[in-house]
């Protein structure tokens, strides 16, 4: 036993950003006269709740982030023309102040068109119905409302002194969003609009620069910026503008019926390191915390309620390891180079095929180098300044002194966590098991109350509901004569429907017949199902629905959805086309109209109580009283056994649920992801054949200790008795220690003072608060393989590995050390158990000779 390291808990000091004059040149932003190299993180305020904001911002700060970036969500703020809302999740000022209090900067992407996988790209649906409006072009009503809202937001920020020029945190503001892709679709008016938007923004006099992303013709002084998986090759259109990356996508979003995309931490780190290697100065992760599309805020069609994005902080607010930890170490390595990167002169040197070094030196003799190997297959060993360096394929090594590698993007030193969804019950604690009482109300399939209108043929869903609801009832009837052959044969005619989207549930004579929907990548669909008809009059009722409105694209505001054809096949007359029949319409379902999910609305019907809720019942409202799950872990609702619908807790909108299985085959998914080579959203997918989204985040702050009202509207049928709360729990951690993995210079503040730590490979394990290491589950020296939670022993496994680690573990609870062992790889998995104190442990495992 040579070392035992006890590392103190670090306290983060709060510093307020002082008054900042923000300017720029071709190298960087200059804030208060100082050049800045900035790491920024997108966290969208309405995709979490105010109670989570300080924690998310702090976790970003601990991850080495300097700046928070958010869009402003117009349709969450201007509910009808001139009617503004800034409460709850939409309290933008409170969010900005949370960032300020953490001593961080803010990039405010006002848009106000934002795309963002957000309903209708963030533009209020009412604006589409202001006569003569066309979005995002030189169109008077659009520009009038866009300018009005932009000015409103700028004035609000000014009033609260939130611009850096006023001493606030906002250092950059964005107008429009990725318009360059679409400008040409709008011809002359597109170009005119882009210039108008830039000028309008600049005339707001915020005292901070404006940016436009993916906007190649952005006029001075607006800065054009890059959005992509890689922006090392990006060059702003003017040499006087700094190289800014507004969106590096560390993952991707999901659609109901689609797969679960993952971007490996090694590749994210590679892209970031390459960007700074090639002269970048502001880099933003889109998303750093993706969060949740609560209520009906998800865009579409089919964007899931979860907006996790495989981001460094997961949907539930927990740092995602190893991604968060690996990027934290990357940020620290880059920051070690900040001064010389920004003030030095760059020289690039080719060190052989695919390998290049970018070397920055300044007049004081300081030197920093980035050496990259862009070969997506082969590791390379190169000579640089008389020293030999080996670089794994598709990696960048960072040398803050041009000599020692402190970080390589492909060598993940960070711990990996085992995260589990621990099921709990939905019980009220004062009642026995299985005594949960459900209150039930059924919707009548078809027109409720008075019909809204009758029309021959179909209408567009969005034009009709104006997105006040997902639902539009269509009903008609057909007469079936007694002499129909199918009645005699006992066979069934077939209902054939074609629709441009997004989904429908079919009912005949009030009986559910089936559901039709696009496949998650494509919204037009056909529905084909045998149906039960009887002699005489038959009512056909179709509940057509939208699942989030289009978020972007040329003229996206005019993309409609709805039925194009309804036929019945297999009658004596052959196929009967009902498309031009008289259809009766009703917008929304009755329970929504009565607000059965909220406050007084709950008593607008007589619920039927039962302890055995009926299963597979379409069009059913369920209500029950639940306790908050114990503990302090984040909470999800397990909806695996439900059909499709909406959920609320205490009147707060959880969102759309739809545990719809991905239609992709297993070969469209990967078991292991090779981080090497260019990433695309389909490269490292999992979840083929599984529900795209099983768990739905319910923020802790929405719960009272007891008496919480959970309400569901189930559209097509499910098993409510199988709904469970789950707690998202970190149940273990793995770390890999290798002599080969650089750690010099990457110690936390204070840790480098611990004697002898330099040049010793180590792993730092961070446990969730209130936990400590309770057992060593796996340990192996040599060449172990596999993933955290399922490691396999390697060829030169030494049977004493576990014993050694356990002995060490017994010796010290807060730290582990050992010496004199093998030198290759060391893998360790710990599981946590409850600790009574509030300590957040930092543990180190170190190996030395």
Residues that bind ligand NAG (CB under 6 A): 21, 23, 30, 278, 348, 385-386, 460, 463, 478, 519, 521-522, 560, 573, 576, 604-606, 663-664
Residues 6+ apart with CB under 8 A from 755: none
SS3 482: coil
Of 460 and 690, which CB lies nearer to ligand NAG in the complex structure? 460
Of 387 and 701, which CB lies nearer to ligand NAG in the complex structure? 387
Of 254 and 724, which CB lies nearer to ligand NAG in the complex structure? 254
In the complex, the smallest distance separating the C-beta of residue 241 from ligand NAG, rounded to whole angstroms, is 14
- 777 neighbors 805 (Cβ within 8 angstroms): no
Helix (H) or strand (E) holding 775: strand 771-782
In the complex, the smallest distance separating the C-beta of residue 352 from ligand NAG, rounded to whole angstroms, is 14
Q: What share of the chain is helix, strand, coil (3-state, %, to 5)?
A: 20, 35, 45
How many angstroms separate the CA atoms of 657 and 304, rounded?
8
Q: Which of 172, 173, 181, 179 is nearest to 195 (CA)?
A: 179
Residues 6+ apart with CB under 8 A from 144: none
> Which residue in the block uniquely carries the two structure tokens 């939670």?
789
Of 83 and 386, which CB lies nearer to ligand NAG in the complex structure? 386
In the complex, the smallest distance separating the C-beta of residue 386 from ligand NAG, rounded to whole angstroms, is 4
Q: State residue 251 phi and psi, 5-degree precision.
A: -170, -145
Residues 6+ apart with CB under 8 A from 773: 765, 767, 809, 813, 816, 830, 831, 832, 841, 843
In the complex, the smallest distance separating the C-beta of residue 279 from ligand NAG, rounded to whole angstroms, is 8
In the complex, the smallest distance separating the C-beta of residue 177 from ligand NAG, rounded to whole angstroms, is 24
Give alpha helix (H) positions in 337-490: 338-343, 461-465, 485-489
In the complex, the smallest distance separating the C-beta of residue 213 from ligand NAG, rounded to whole angstroms, is 22
In the complex, the smallest distance separating the C-beta of residue 664 from ligand NAG, rounded to whole angstroms, is 5
Task: State the first-to-last Cα distance of the chain, in angstroms, to the nearest integer.
Answer: 10
Of 365 and 432, which CB lies nearer to ligand NAG in the complex structure? 365
In the complex, the smallest distance separating the C-beta of residue 221 from ligand NAG, rounded to whole angstroms, is 12
| Length of the chain in terms of residues written | 849
In the complex, the smallest distance separating the C-beta of residue 187 from ligand NAG, rounded to whole angstroms, is 19
In the complex, the smallest distance separating the C-beta of residue 19 from ligand NAG, rounded to whole angstroms, is 9
Of 558 and 814, which CB lies nearer to ligand NAG in the complex structure? 558
In the complex, the smallest distance separating the C-beta of residue 180 from ligand NAG, rounded to whole angstroms, is 23
* Angle at which helices 53-62 and 92-101 cross, to 10°: 40
Catalytic positions: 178, 247
How many angstroms separate the CA atoms of 725 and 427, rounded?
10
- 193 neighbors 137 (Cβ within 8 angstroms): yes
Of 429 and 526, which CB lies nearer to ligand NAG in the complex structure? 526
Of 147 and 361, which CB lies nearer to ligand NAG in the complex structure? 361
Q: Which of 107, 391, 396 is nearest to 276 (CA)?
A: 396
- 410 neighbors 266 (Cβ within 8 angstroms): yes
Strands (E), 351-437: 355-361, 367-373, 380-384, 387-391, 395-399, 407-408, 416-423
Number of H helices, E strands in the chain: 13, 49
Residues 6+ apart with CB under 8 A from 115: 121, 122, 177, 178, 299, 551, 552
Q: Which of 150, 140, 238, 131 is nearest to 192 (CA)?
A: 140
Q: Which of 565, 564, 563 is nearest to 496 (CA)?
A: 565
How many angstroms separate the CA atoms of 505 and 474, rounded?
11
Of 54 and 353, which CB lies nearer to ligand NAG in the complex structure? 353
How many angstroms separate the CA atoms of 238 and 220, rounded?
9
β 652-657/494-499 pair status: unpaired
Of 519 and 823, which CB lies nearer to ligand NAG in the complex structure? 519
Q: What is the longest distance spanned by two Cα atoms in the chain?
A: 99
Of 187 and 385, which CB lies nearer to ligand NAG in the complex structure? 385
In the complex, the smallest distance separating the C-beta of residue 124 from ligand NAG, rounded to whole angstroms, is 15
Q: List, as own/partner pairs, every contact residues 461-464 make where C-beta atoms lie below 8 angstroms and the sequence separation is at least 24, other chains included.
A: 461/544, 461/545, 461/546, 461/560, 461/561, 461/562, 462/125, 462/546, 462/549, 462/560, 462/561, 462/562, 463/560, 464/585, 464/587
Of 94 and 661, which CB lies nearer to ligand NAG in the complex structure? 661
How many angstroms separate the CA atoms of 168 and 161, rounded?
6
Of 385 and 534, which CB lies nearer to ligand NAG in the complex structure? 385
- 161 neighbors 174 (Cβ within 8 angstroms): no
- 551 neighbors 472 (Cβ within 8 angstroms): no
SS3 390: strand
Question: Which residue is closest to ligand NAG by CB?
Answer: 560
Vertex 327: Cα angle to 321 and 328 (nearest 5): 90
In the complex, the smallest distance separating the C-beta of residue 348 from ligand NAG, rounded to whole angstroms, is 4
Q: State residue 293 phi and psi, 5-degree precision.
A: -90, 85
Please tell me what DSSP assigns to residue 151: H
């Amino acid at each position: 036993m040579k070392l035992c390291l006890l590392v103190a808990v670090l306290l983060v000091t709060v510093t307020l950003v002082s008054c900042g004059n923000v300017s720029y040149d071709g190298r960087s932003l200059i804030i208060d006269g100082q050049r800045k190299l900035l790491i920024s993180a997108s966290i969208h305020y309405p995709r979490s709740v105010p109670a989570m904001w300080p924690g998310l911002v702090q976790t970003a700060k601990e991850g080495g982030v300097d700046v928070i970036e958010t869009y402003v969500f117009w349709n969450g703020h201007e509910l009808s023309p001139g009617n503004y809302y800034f409460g709850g999740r939409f309290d933008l000022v409170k969010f900005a102040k949370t960032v300020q209090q953490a001593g961080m900067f803010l990039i405010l992407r006002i848009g106000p068109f934002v795309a963002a996988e957000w309903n209708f790209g963030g533009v209020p649906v009412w604006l589409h119905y202001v006569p003569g409006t066309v979005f995002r072009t030189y169109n008077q009503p659009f520009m009038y409302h866009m300018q009005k809202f932009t000015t409103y937001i700028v004035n609000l920020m000014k009033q609260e002194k939130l611009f850096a020029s006023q001493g606030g945190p906002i250092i950059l503001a964005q107008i429009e969003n990725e318009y360059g892709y679409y400008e040409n679709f709008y011809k002359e008016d597109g170009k005119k609009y882009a210039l108008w938007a830039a000028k309008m923004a600049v005339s707001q006099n915020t005292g901070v620069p404006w940016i436009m992303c993916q906007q190649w013709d952005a006029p001075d002084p607006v800065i054009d910026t890059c959005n992509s998986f890689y922006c090392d090759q990006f060059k702003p259109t003017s040499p006087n503008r700094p190289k800014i990356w507004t969106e590096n996508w560390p993952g991707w979003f999901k659609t109901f019926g689609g797969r679960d995309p993952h971007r490996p931490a090694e590749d994210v780190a590679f892209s970031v390191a390459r960007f700074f290697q090639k002269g970048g100065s502001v880099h933003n992760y889109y998303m750093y915390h993706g969060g949740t599309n609560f209520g009906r805020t998800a865009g579409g069609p089919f964007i899931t309620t979860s907006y996790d994005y495989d981001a460094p902080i997961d949907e539930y607010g927990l740092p995602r390891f190893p991604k968060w930890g690996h990027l934290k170490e990357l940020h620290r390595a880059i920051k070690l180079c900040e001064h010389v990167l920004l003030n030095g002169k760059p020289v690039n040197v080719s060190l052989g095929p695919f390998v290049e070094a970018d070397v920055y030196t300044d007049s004081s003799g300081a030197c920093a180098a980035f050496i990259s190997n862009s070969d997506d297959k082969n590791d390379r060993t190169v000579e640089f300044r008389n020293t030999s360096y080996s670089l794994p394929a598709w990696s960048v090594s960072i040398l803050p002194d041009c000599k020692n590698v402190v970080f390589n993007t492909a060598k993940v030193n960070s711990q990996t966590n085992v995260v589990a969804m621990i099921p709990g019950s939905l019980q009220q604690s004062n009642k026995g098991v299985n005594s949960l009482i459900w209150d039930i109300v059924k919707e009548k399939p078809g027109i409720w109350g008075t019909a809204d209108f009758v029309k021959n043929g179909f209408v567009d869903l969005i034009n009709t509901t104006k997105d006040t609801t997902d639902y539009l009832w269509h009903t008609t009837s057909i007469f079936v004569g007694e002499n129909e052959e199918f009645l005699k044969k006992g066979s069934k005619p077939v209902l054939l429907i074609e629709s441009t989207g997004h989904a429908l549930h079919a009912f005949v004579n009030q009986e559910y017949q089936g559901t039709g929907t696009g496949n998650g990548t494509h919204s037009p669909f056909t529905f084909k199902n045998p149906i039960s008809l009887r002699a005489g009059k038959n009512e056909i009722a179709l509940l057509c629905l939208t699942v989030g409105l289009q978020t972007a694209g040329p003229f996206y505001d005019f993309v409609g959805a709805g039925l194009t054809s309804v036929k019945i096949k297999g009658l004596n007359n052959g196929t009967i086309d009902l498309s031009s029949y008289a259809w009766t319409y009703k917008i929304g379902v009755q329970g929504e109209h009565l607000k059965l999910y909220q406050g007084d609305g709950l008593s607008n019907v007589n619920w039927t109580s039962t302890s055995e809720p009926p299963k597979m019942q379409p069009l059913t409202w369920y209500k029950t009283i639940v306790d908050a799950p114990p503990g302090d872990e984040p909470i999800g609702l397990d909806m695996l056994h439900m059909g499709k619908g909406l959920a609320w807790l205490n009147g707060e909108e959880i969102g759309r649920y739809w545990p719809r299985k991905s239609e992709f085959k297993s070969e469209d998914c990967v078991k292991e992801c090779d981080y090497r080579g260019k990433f695309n959203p389909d490269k490292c997918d999992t979840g083929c054949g599984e529900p795209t989204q099983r768990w739905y985040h319910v923020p802790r702050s929405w719960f009272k200790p007891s008496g919480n009202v959970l309400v569901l509207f189930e559209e097509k049928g499910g098993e409510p008795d199988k709904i469970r709360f789950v707690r998202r729990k970190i149940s273990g951690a793995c770390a890999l220690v290798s002599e080969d993995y650089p750690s010099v210079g990457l110690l936390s503040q204070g840790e480098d003072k611990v004697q002898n730590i330099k040049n010793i490979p180590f792993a730092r394990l961070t446990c969730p608060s209130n936990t400590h290491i309770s057992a060593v589950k796996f340990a192996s020296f040599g060449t172990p393989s596999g993933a955290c939670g399922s490691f396999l022993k390697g060829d030169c496994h030494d049977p004493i590995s576990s014993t050694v680690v356990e002995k060490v573990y017994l010796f010290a609870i807060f730290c582990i050390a050992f010496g004199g062992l093998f030198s290759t790889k060391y893998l360790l998995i710990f599981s946590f158990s409850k600790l009574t104190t509030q300590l957040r442990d930092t543990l180190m495992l170190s190996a030395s000779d």
